[in-house]
Amino acid sequence: MQQEQSVSEMAEEALERQAKALAQSSVQSLEDARQAVSGTEAGRQLRDLAQGEHRHEKAQAWQARVFWKRSEERMMRLYCSEALSSFVAERHYSWLESYMEWLEGKEERVQYHALLEEELSSLR
């Protein structure tokens, strides 16, 4: 990458380097290698980049923005993952506490349910 190179020029240069490498390592002509490289997923992505909305931007500035954007996304995923883990760890025991509270009055509920059963059977 050159100092004043645009994103489009950088992408085209990368496609050309890949095509030359393919042509040298195979029996294909340079033109056939260009078509083969352009037909790959990576080639399509580079072609889209070369023709996309950022094509006129300076490649160095664009790469720096992409780097920082990806770094922010990774940090956000990490932060969210930690926050979620913390939330889950806190919530992990909250259901147990609720269950224990529910169990505390269970003996009294058994007597209550027995009385209800008696009342129901006397009504039938």
Domain boundaries, the chain: 1-57
Q: What is the mean pLDDT of the chain?
A: 80
With 0.75 as the threshold, say if the pTM is over it.
Answer: no
Give 56-108 pLDDT, tens digit per residue: 878 778 788 888 888 888 888 777 777 767 766 666 566 666 766 766 766 66
CA dist list (Å): 106 to 8, 50, 102, 114, 115: 72, 70, 7, 12, 14
CA 62, 80, 66 angle in degrees (round to 5)? 5
Q: Is the pLDDT of residue 32 over 60?
A: yes
Across 114-124, average pLDDT: 76
For residue 6, what is the DSSP state?
B
